[in-house]
Structures are given as C-alpha cells and as structure tokens.
Structure 1
Amino acid sequence: MDALIPPLLNGSAQGALLLLAALGLSLTFGQMGVINMAHGEFLMIGAFTAYLVQQVVHSANLSVPVALPVAFLVAGLLGLLLEVGIIQWMYRRPLDTLLVTVGVSLILQQAALQVFPSQGVPVQKPDWLDGQVNILGYEWPLRQVFTILLAAVCVAALGAWLKYSSFGRRIRATVQNRDLAETAGISTRTVDRLTFFIGSGLAGVAGVAASLIGGTNSQMGMQYIIPAFLVVAAGGIGQLKGTIIAAWAVGVSLSYFADWTTGSLAQVLALMLVIVFLQLRPQGLFTVRTRSLV
C-alpha cells in the first residue's frame, strides 16, 4: 500500500498541471477546431515570465502571486496576436493550423534560446511552498499541493464564467452551432478572439506552476503539449468535466508507469493507453450534443 501512495499523489499533481495546460486547448480546439501546437510554448512563456517577475520583485513570497496574473496576461496577448495575425485566416482548416503553429512553436523556442541560457533559468519557490505534508507516511511537497489548488481555482473560475456570464453563454452557443449563433446576433469573431486569449493565458498560468516543479528551459513546452492533446481527446472535445477526469487519469498513469519504467517509456505507455481508450470510445468520455447529433 505504501508503494502506491507516492505515485498517486505525484500523479495527481502532474494531472493538475496537465489540466491547466489542457484547459486552453479544450476551449480553442472545441470551439474553433484549431490544432495549436504552439500552445506548449505559451506555457514556456509563462515559466520565463515567472523568472522575469522575480528579477523585479525580489521577494519570492510576493513574486509568485504577482507572476500568475502577469503570465496570464503575457501569454494571453501573444495568443491573441497569433489568432489575429495567422489563425483567423485558417478556420475550418485544422491541418493547416497544425503546420503553421508547429512553425510558430519552433520560432518561439529559438527566440527563447536567444534570450535565455539553453540550460534554463531558476525560479525560486516561495518560503510558503518550502515544505511537505505527511500523507499516510509520504512527505508530499507543498509545491505539488499548490499546483492542485491552482488548477482547482482555475477550473472553478472558468466553469463559473462559462455558465453564468453572458460571454460564457455566447461561447457555449458558438461551440454548439456557430452559424445559428451568428444569426442570433453573436459576434463569433469577438468570441473566438477572447477564447484564444483566455486559453493561451491559462497556458501561461500552467507555466508558472511548472517552473516551480521542474524549472525552465526552451524545450519545456514539448513536454506538455502531446499529453495535453491526449487529455483533450480522451475527455471529449470542448468538455470541461471530461478534461478534468482525463487529466487526472493521464497524470496518474504517467506517474505509475514512470515509477515502474523510465520517463520516456512511461510517455509511450500512456499514449498507448489513451489510443486503446479512443478505439473503444472515439468520442471521448463526454460529447457535446447539438442539433447535428442524432
């Protein structure tokens, strides 16, 4: 029993990080059909933003709370720039968006290498995260607990915004039937842009959390982008509750596989597990019901 607890707790924290990364993908892919392979680089930008904030706010106890909204804003604005400059011309062409955003991903990686050292830069964790919580004999790092709490806050805020705000209702209307939403007077272009801003901003928040756990480097986005897409596909396109369940399942699976094998083999095994699941249930855990569905 003791051997099962550490991978479960560590995997839950990893799943929370994947959830933060996948929330934005679930929004943009579910609403616009955009395969954004540069999403991982927005996570990288959030991590480097946390480092830059610490150069200005020298107290780590204050810099991390400040870095979270700053990373959201910086990554969100870059995502908006990508949507306005490139993506808006490629709606309904998902393979084109995939190819273009792969190119954007490589450009952002090289730009990061020009600005920051190749080995990355350290992000100092605050004193209030420098400790452990004893869970059934296992000393669980507080920074992992913080990641889970951060993911829970982001999910709750996003869920409430989508359900209760007028703009959230416009997003749901656009997801379910874009043409009908436009005939009802909804500006789907404005909805798309704000959705891309929020989705990219959430990746920036994930980058801050990732920097506290694994540091920073120009390649860190690639570590999260494929598992995040697996989470979105397994959870069901555009489905928040499915994304939550799938993120936890993939995170725990990766943790258990890594405990038994190597990290790279764990990624392969998790990928195979999701592929098998999608063969049995190709629509994912949950689906969006619209008038087009039988």
Structure 2
Amino acid sequence: MDAFIPPLLNGTAQGALLLLAALGLSLTFGQMGVINMAHGEFLMAGAFVAYLTQLVITSTDISIPVALPLAFLVAGLLGLVLEATIIRWMYRRPLDTLLATVGVSLILQQAALQIFPSQGVPVQKPGWLEGQLDVFGYGWPLRQVFTIVLAAVCVAALAAWLKYTAFGRRIRATVQNRDLAETSGISTRTVDRITFFVGSGLAGVAGVAASLIGGTNSQMGAQYIIPAFLVVVAGGIGQIKGAVLAAWAVGVAMAFFADWTTGSLAQVLVFALLVVFLQLRPQGLFTIRTRGLT
C-alpha cells in the first residue's frame, strides 16, 4: 500500500496542473472550435509574470498571490489580441487556426528568448509553501497541495460562471446554436472575445503554478499543450467534468508509469493509452448536447 501512495499523490498534483492548462482549452477549443497552439505560450507568459512580480515585490509570501491575477490579466489580454487580430477571421476553419497559432507560438517563444535568459529564470516558493504534509507516512510537498487547491478553485469558479451567470448562459446558447443565438439578440462577437480572454487567462494562472514546480523557460509551453489537448478531447469537447476526470487519470497514470519506467517512456505509454481510448470512444467521456439544425 505504501508503494502506491507517492505516485497517487504526485500524479494527482500533476493532473491538477494539467487540468489548469486544459481548462482554458476547454473554452477556446471545446466551446469555440478554435485550435489554439499558442495556448502553451500564454501559460509561459503567466510563468514569466510570476518571475517579474517577484522582482518588484521581494516578499515571496505576497508576490505569488499578486502574480495570480496579474498572470490571468496578461495572458487574457494576449489571447484577446490574438482573437481580435487573427482568430476572428478563421472561425469554423479549425485547421487554419492551427497553422496560424503555430506561427504565433514560435513568435512568442523567440520573444521570450530575446527578453529572458535561454536557460530560464527561477521563481521562488513563498514561505507558506515550504514544508510537507504527512499523508500515511509520505511527505507530500505543500506546493503540490497548492496546485490541487488552485485547480479546484478555478474549476468551481469557471463552472459557476458558465452555469449561473447571464454571460454563461449566452456562451451556452452560442455553443448550442450560434445562428439562433444571434437572432435572439446575443452578440456572439462579444461572447467570443470574452470567452477567449477567460480561456487564455486561465492558461496564465496555470503558468504561475507551473513556475513553482519547474521554473520558467521559453519552451515550457510545449510541455503542456499536447497533453492538455488530449485531456480536452478525452474528457469530451467542451465538458469541464470530463476534463477533470481525464486530467486526473492522465496525471496518475503518468506518475505510476514513471515510477516503474522512465519519465519519457511514461509519457509515450500514457499517450498510447489515450489514442486507444479515443479509438474506442472518439466522442470522449462525455458529449455536449446541441440543438443544431443540421
């Protein structure tokens, strides 16, 4: 039993970080049909915001709480600019959005290389994340617990926003039938922009959490973008509950495989399992119900 506790806890934390990266994609890809390959670079931007915040606010106990909303704002604005300048012309053309955002991704990576050292920059953990939590004799790092709590808060806030607010109802109406939503007086352009802003902002929050675990560098977004897309697809397009279950399953499976093999082989095995799962259930764990006329 003791041998299963460390990979289970570490995998849960890894799944929470993956969920944070996938939540934004669940909106921009799941709700809007946009394949945004620059989403990983928005995560990278959030990580660098955490670093820059610590340069201004030297107290790490304060800098990380301040960095979280700042990272959300900065990454959200990057997403808003991308939507207003490029994505808005490519709705209902997902392959075009993929190609265009790959180019944006490369540009942002090169910009990070020009601004920050190529080896990356460290982000210091706050004092309240030092130490460990004893779980059945295993010392669980508090920074991993923080990642899980942060993911839970983001999931709850996003789910409440979509379900209980007027704007959330507009998003759901646009997803179910865009043309009918427009005839009902809903500004789908406003819906698209705010949805992209929130989805990109969530990537920035994920970047802050990732920086506390692995630091920052210009390539860090590439580590999360493909697994995050797989989580969204495996969970079901646009389904937050599916993304939660898929992220946890992927994180735990990767931790157990890494415990038995190597980290790179563990990723290969998990991706292979996901491919097999999608062959058996291509719609994912959950499906979205629509009222499309076609």
Q: Would you say same fold, with TM above 0.5?
A: yes
CA distance in 2, matches of 1:285, 1:103: 31
2:257 aligned with 1:257, yes or no? yes
2:122 aligned with 1:125, yes or no? no
Offset at residue 80 of structure 1 (A):
0.3
Work out the percentage of aligned pairs sharing the same amino acid.
83
Q: Deviations over 1:208-257 (max 9, x none)?
A: 00000111111000000011001000000000111110110111111111
What is the aligned partner in structure 1 of residue 207 from structure 2? 207
Q: Match of 2:23, as an amino acid?
A: L
CA distance in 2, matches of 1:261, 1:113: 33
CA distance in 2, matches of 1:258, 1:225: 20
**1:133 aligned counterpart, secondary structure:** strand
Q: Match of 1:290, as an amino acid?
A: T
**2:139 aligned counterpart, secondary structure:** strand
CA distance in 2, matches of 1:66, 1:199: 19
What is the aligned partner in structure 2 of residue 77 from structure 1? 77
CA distance in 2, matches of 1:293, 1:241: 26
Offset at residue 51 of structure 1 (A):
0.2
What is the aligned partner in structure 2 of residue 142 from structure 1? 142
Q: Match of 1:193, as an amino acid?
A: R
Q: Deviations over 1:171-194 (max 9, x none)?
A: 011111111111111001100000
Following superposition, which runs of at least 4 residues in structure 1 exceed 3 angstroms of deviation?
none
CA distance in 1, matches of 2:8, 2:47: 25
CA distance in 2, matches of 1:180, 1:71: 35
CA distance in 1, matches of 2:146, 2:80: 28
Within a 5 Å distance, the mapping from 1:176-195 to structure 2 comes to 176-195=176-195
Contact (CA 8 Å) 1:234, 1:242: kept in 2 or not?
A: yes
**1:174 aligned counterpart, secondary structure:** helix
What is the aligned partner in structure 1 of residue 41 from structure 2? 41
Offset at residue 292 of structure 1 (A):
3.8
Q: Deviations over 1:239-285 (max 9, x none)?
A: 01111101101111111111111211111111111111111111001
Offset at residue 293 of structure 1 (A):
8.9
What is the aligned partner in structure 2 of residue 104 from structure 1? 104
**1:207 aligned counterpart, secondary structure:** helix
Q: Deviations over 1:158-207 (max 9, x none)?
A: 11111111000000111111111111110011000000000000000000
**1:2 aligned counterpart, secondary structure:** coil
- Bigger drift between 274-283 and 255-264 goes to 255-264
What is the aligned partner in structure 2 of residue 232 from structure 1? 232
CA distance in 2, matches of 1:156, 1:291: 26
Change (3 A) 1:219 1:255: same
What is the aligned partner in structure 1 of residue 198 from structure 2? 198
Offset at residue 291 of structure 1 (A):
2.5
Q: Match of 1:56, as an amino acid?
A: V
CA distance in 2, matches of 1:264, 1:152: 28
**1:139 aligned counterpart, secondary structure:** strand
Contact (CA 8 Å) 1:30, 1:175: kept in 2 or not?
A: no
Within a 5 Å distance, the mapping from 1:143-182 to structure 2 comes to 143-182=143-182
Offset at residue 42 of structure 1 (A):
0.4
What is the aligned partner in structure 1 of residue 65 from structure 2? 65
Offset at residue 45 of structure 1 (A):
0.4
- TM-score by length of structure 1 reads 0.98
What is the aligned partner in structure 1 of residue 88 from structure 2? 88
- Bigger drift between 140-149 and 168-177 goes to 168-177
Contact (CA 8 Å) 2:20, 2:202: kept in 1 or not?
A: yes
**2:288 aligned counterpart, secondary structure:** coil
Contact (CA 8 Å) 2:71, 2:208: kept in 1 or not?
A: yes
**2:125 aligned counterpart, secondary structure:** coil
Change (3 A) 1:35 1:238: same
**1:122 aligned counterpart, secondary structure:** coil
What is the aligned partner in structure 2 of residue 290 from structure 1? 290
Q: Match of 1:160, as an amino acid?
A: A
Q: Match of 2:263, as an amino acid?
A: G
Runs of 5+ unmatched residues, structure 1: none
